[in-house]
Homo-oligomer: A and B are copies of this chain.
């Protein structure tokens, strides 16, 4: 599946890196392979020999416990190994994995490997989009538009929630990241959540009303960022077009706005006389809906048609909650313990899932996280207010 995403790309497409935050397509394919090879094959398959002794140095992302590694900012220098070489390695590793799938004690680690692979599938898409965007020719990798959030605008309704003591975090069974645990209780005030995501058309109104020029709407760090970077609209906007995996396309004003930063989301909410929800409010609302709808939360992913009011599948939705550990949180043992916990400063939690999230990957307890200036993910917003 990861290979399928890379299929329309040339070796050169798959090699370039547009910024430190983004990685080359090739690197994503190699890094996820490294993850399987390291934490499953090397650690658990007797007699397994590394495909190449010097590749782990290249494809370890940030696991300090796994030793020194190639600098993140220089991943775009890896013209070698080629895309074909990496695909060969992937095939080798995939086959070598076969005997491990039946081993029950490895179940959690394998599920982690799958979730990890899925996360990198989304990153692969957002990173290559950013890379193609650098090219003045406006190249495309697809001829249709599966990645554009396409939910039509709603009716502006709000769903109220009575607040109270609410369970938060993963209950199980099923896989969840360590940062979704342990399940615990949170006390909420009554609140309301918008049924719909904010749309491109609503964002246009914010711009036209001088939203990017009014410091009173902005957080102090956000205003400094707007001034320093000359921000005047969402990433990927140009006139009435937006850049997509299919090149420059006319923007749909009814579709959810995306590729905005936390700073922008917060300023918009302020301008709209509302606020962003907390991660707990979002999760409580999702649990309520879940209870009403039966257990069908997990419908993320591009192929599914989206109806009004969907929580998943259009954009990741900023919350005003900082990404911090839940009470009694414990990181996993070993190198995989570096997966989530060490990033718990300076970032904000996003809930939901985007059009680029693999179907079945997200859930209502899922905690995605990015820095407040990040925009290259499919980020959007859903307003909240006090009830």
Contact = CB atoms under 8 A, between A and B. Distances in A.
Interface of A: 10-16, 18, 54, 57-58, 62, 64-65, 70, 74, 76-83, 131-132, 134-137, 139, 165, 184-187, 189, 215-216, 218-223, 262-263, 266, 320-322, 324-325, 327-328, 338, 342-346, 348, 372, 386
A336 to B, nearest CB: 13
B12 A62 contact: no
Most B Cβ at <10 Å: residue of A58, A137, A222, A372: A137
A320 B324 contact: yes
Contact of A76 (B11, B76, B82): B76
A373 to B, nearest CB: 10
A327 B218 CA distance: 19
Given A77-B16, A79-B13, A216-B64, A327 B136 contact: no
B219 A342 contact: yes
Nearest to A130: B77
15 contacts: A13-B79, A15-B79, A58-B136, A65-B216, A74-B134, A77-B134, A165-B187, A186-B187, A189-B327, A189-B328, A221-B346, A222-B345, A322-B322, A328-B386, A345-B348
Given A134-B74, A189-B184, A216-B64, A16 B18 contact: no
A335 to B, nearest CB: 10
Given A16-B77, A262-B345, 10 more contacts: A10-B11, A12-B15, A62-B220, A70-B136, A78-B135, A218-B342, A219-B343, A222-B345, A223-B342, A327-B386
Contacts of A338: 216
Copies in the complex: 4
Contact of A10 (B82, B215, B321, B346): B82
Contacts of A346: 221, 346, 372
A330 to B, nearest CB: 10
A16 B216 CA distance: 31
Top 10 A-B residue pairs of the complex, sorted by shortest distance between their CB atoms: A322-B322, A77-B134, A64-B215, A187-B187, A12-B15, A12-B79, A11-B12, A220-B342, A13-B79, A80-B139
A132 B80 CA distance: 9
A343 B345 CA distance: 16
Contacts of A220: 62, 342-343, 345
A134 B58 CA distance: 12
B345 A221 contact: yes
A111 B322 CA distance: 31
Contacts of A372: 345-346
